[in-house]
Structure 1
Amino acid sequence: MIWDDYPWLTMPYQQLATSILQNRAHHALLINYVQGSGEDKLIKRLANRLLCQASQDLMPCLQCHSCQLFVSHHHPDYYQITPEQGKQSIGIDQIRNMTAKVYEKSQQGGNKVIWIKYAALMTEAAANALLKTLEEPPANTYFILSDDHNSHLLPTIQSRCFSYFLPIPKLEQSVEWLKKQHDKVYSDNELASALLLSENAPLAAKFLIEPERWQQRKIFCENLLNVIPKNDYWSLAATFEHENFLDRVIWFCALLSDALKAKQKTGRYIINRDQVPLIRLLATFSNEKIFSLYELWLHARRQLISITGLNKELIVYNVLAQSELISQ
């Protein structure tokens, strides 16, 4: 089966490809996803099916000339748009260049497909330029817009698209899938923790439990067990690279959230299932202290994600110093 490697994609693909088979596919499809759900593979398969000129089934034939061009990454009627190298956004010139091409005749005599990856990164001017094309789309032309479910695309663009959220698999299914991906043996609690830290996106969890990366998290948690009783957060600065500080911020926020759950007797919703002693230690803090620490580290997360050019070293030192003040 084509989806044996990512079995949770079977149903979403069938749902979306059925409209292609029945010749009623929407000209603009917006796919939101949890990053690491296999979104790229799904979208590429849909694009392949739209371009295939021989299949009478849900799957592309993979044999016709159009399929062969697509598989070899040389299909002249397929366009993938992402931010240009060194840039943080998709500019209006990229959209204009694409628009000029899609209004031309199809070079293979079939459909044209445009995939705008990370669509929310379009500038307002670029989005407005695309809007005009979505309102009067060229014949036999299909747009696929995709982005993380936390991103914000202009409402005017969303209103012109058929929106689809790529569902994530159930936790139990993902745990079983992860067990087959690694030679290293992990406990069910470790696998569940990796998945829950990754919003249950299997590919993101697979990346997290790569031995070196997973070991970094374990060491971080072990260090927390030592520094929290002494209120010596400052010593953490020497234990990790500032470039990887965002990972630690995300992990610590999840631990603080788990501590609040433990205090509220809602342990079944805990994310870090392999770090129960650490969660219990954090739960000895008052609700006020836990909330204050959470807000502090969450603010650092927002800064690191949304603001470029920040001095990460200063952010590290500030967060650690403020953590000691809060925990007094």
Structure 2
Amino acid sequence: MSNEGSRESLAIAYAWQMTFWERLSQQHLDQKLPHALMLTGHKGIGKFHFAKALGYYQLCLSPVNHVACGRCKGCELNQAETHPDFFVLRPEGTSRVIKIDQVRRLTEFLAKTAQQGGKKVAVIEPVEALNVNAANALLKGLEEPSGNSSLILVSHVPSQVMATIRSRCQQIAFPLPSTEESLTWLTPLAVGQDPAYLLSCAGGAPLAARDLLSGDALEQRQALATGLLSLADNSRSALDLAAELQRGEALPVIESLMQWLQYGLKRQMTEGVAVGNPNEDKLLALIGSIPSAILYRFWDKMVAVKRQLLSSANPNKQLLLEELMMDWQAMCRQSSQVAQSRQQVMNGLL
């Protein structure tokens, strides 16, 4: 088994997480680890991985050098994902929401005595996926943890987490790893791909960049860039592109667009912002030429659409995408008209 395979199977913290690991593992040894932690930060940097590592470490019967030994009964059960004192709470199936029935099962788990005679550990990810009823049901477990229990909550967007939940946890904010750290980890995995481009697509998050290596996410992203350029030059209809996009997931479309908007705004302030793909770089040049006031209005729309998609309201994906593509085309058209007006004014002054 490769070193990376061992790292994944034992859930050892990543190199860029070691400062936090050293602190929390020492707190565990000193029996001062808070009963409820919330790990926050950008999606795709390994917070869930870290939470599992910390849970495995707490359940290890003979840790070595502040990590799970990988050989004791507790570690063997965790590697087989059958440890009776380790509970993972995530959305089930294709749902984006954690429901109250799932939290009730967690509450039952916490109320029982640890079967292996040690701690009980529960990991919740992402905690912002709790619907209102589920979040309220979780509060009691956070206020009055039964027995020797540890709860580790993972959040990609802590502002969307109920304030009463945040206040009952010690929050630890994970920064994005440095580009050098990310590329050192990613490059051996990115065979046949440009790791810098992958990292750029993932917004600097190394695990998200790694995930782009499987499936057709990269192809879909590049097709989206091509489609947006065709809307900008009016060679394609917004409804036609929306119909094509709705065959897949809407959220990656929103997230890619938001990332390009961010890069385009940076391009207005800093020369040379590029991602390393010809069509995407053309798109960034286009976005960079649009007046920032227009871009910010479109950004606000994107934020609202993303919030709808992440909610439990089950919005109409087709209508959202149609409206978004029409707004994009209208924004490009408006920007072109503004540019033409400015040029006419300049020509009149000359």
TM over 0.5: yes
The 1-side partners of 2:286 and 2:108 are apart by 61
**Counterpart secondary structure, 1:283:** helix
| Shift in alpha-carbon separation, 1:155–1:301, aligned structure 2, 3 A | closer
Structure 1 equivalent of residue 61 of structure 2: 53
**Counterpart secondary structure, 2:77:** helix
Structure 1 equivalent of residue 220 of structure 2: 216
Aligned-partner residue type, residue 71 of structure 1: Q
Which string of whole-angstrom CA distances, capped at 9 and with x for unpartnered residues, describes residues 264-290 of structure 1? x3236x474544333223333344443
Deviation, structure 1 residue 84:
4.8
| Shift in alpha-carbon separation, 1:165–1:278, aligned structure 2, 3 A | same
Which string of whole-angstrom CA distances, capped at 9 and with x for unpartnered residues, describes residues 237-293 of structure 1? 465444344333332333333333333x3236x474544333223333344443444
Indicate which of 179, 193, 203 corresponds to 1:171.
Answer: 179
**Counterpart secondary structure, 2:124:** strand
What pairs up with 1:162-311 in 2 under 5 angstroms?
Answer: 162-186=170-194, 188=196, 190-196=197-203, 200-210=204-214, 212-230=216-234, 232-234=236-238, 236-237=241-242, 240-263=245-268, 265-267=269-271, 270=273, 272=275, 274=277, 275-306=280-311, 308-311=313-316
2:134 corresponds to 1:121: no
Question: Is 36-45 or 292-301 further displaced after alignment?
Answer: 292-301
TM (norm. structure 1) is 0.82
CA contact (8 A) 1:192 1:273 kept: no
Deviation, structure 1 residue 56:
5.7
Question: Is 125-134 or 153-162 further displaced after alignment?
Answer: 125-134
The 2-side partners of 1:185 and 1:239 are apart by 26
Which string of whole-angstrom CA distances, capped at 9 and with x for unpartnered residues, describes residues 182-239 of structure 1? 2213173x2442232xxx2211122235473223322332343444233745253465
Deviation, structure 1 residue 141:
1.9
Aligned-partner residue type, residue 214 of structure 1: L
| Structure 2 gap ranges (5+) | 335-350
The 1-side partners of 2:118 and 2:195 are apart by 50
2:319 corresponds to 1:324: no
Percentage identity across paired residues of the two chains: 28
| Shift in alpha-carbon separation, 1:195–1:28, aligned structure 2, 3 A | same
2:41 corresponds to 1:37: no
The 2-side partners of 1:22 and 1:223 are apart by 56
Deviation, structure 1 residue 170:
0.5
The 2-side partners of 1:211 and 1:82 are apart by 22
Deviation, structure 1 residue 13:
2.2
Indicate which of 309, 315, 325 corresponds to 2:320.
Answer: 315
| Shift in alpha-carbon separation, 1:108–1:267, aligned structure 2, 3 A | same
Aligned-partner residue type, residue 305 of structure 1: L
What pairs up with 1:122-141 in 2 under 5 angstroms?
Answer: 122-141=130-149
Residue correspondences, number? 322
| Structure 1 gap ranges (5+) | none
CA contact (8 A) 1:78 1:113 kept: yes
| Shift in alpha-carbon separation, 1:14–1:82, aligned structure 2, 3 A | same
CA contact (8 A) 1:30 1:158 kept: yes
TM (norm. structure 2) is 0.77
2:88 corresponds to 1:80: yes
CA contact (8 A) 1:242 1:312 kept: no
The 1-side partners of 2:293 and 2:305 are apart by 19
CA contact (8 A) 1:194 1:209 kept: no
The 2-side partners of 1:304 and 1:157 are apart by 23
Which string of whole-angstrom CA distances, capped at 9 and with x for unpartnered residues, describes residues 4-24 of structure 1? 994323333222212112222
Structure 1 equivalent of residue 28 of structure 2: 20
**Counterpart secondary structure, 2:171:** strand
| Shift in alpha-carbon separation, 1:135–1:204, aligned structure 2, 3 A | same
CA contact (8 A) 1:243 1:312 kept: no
CA contact (8 A) 1:194 1:205 kept: yes
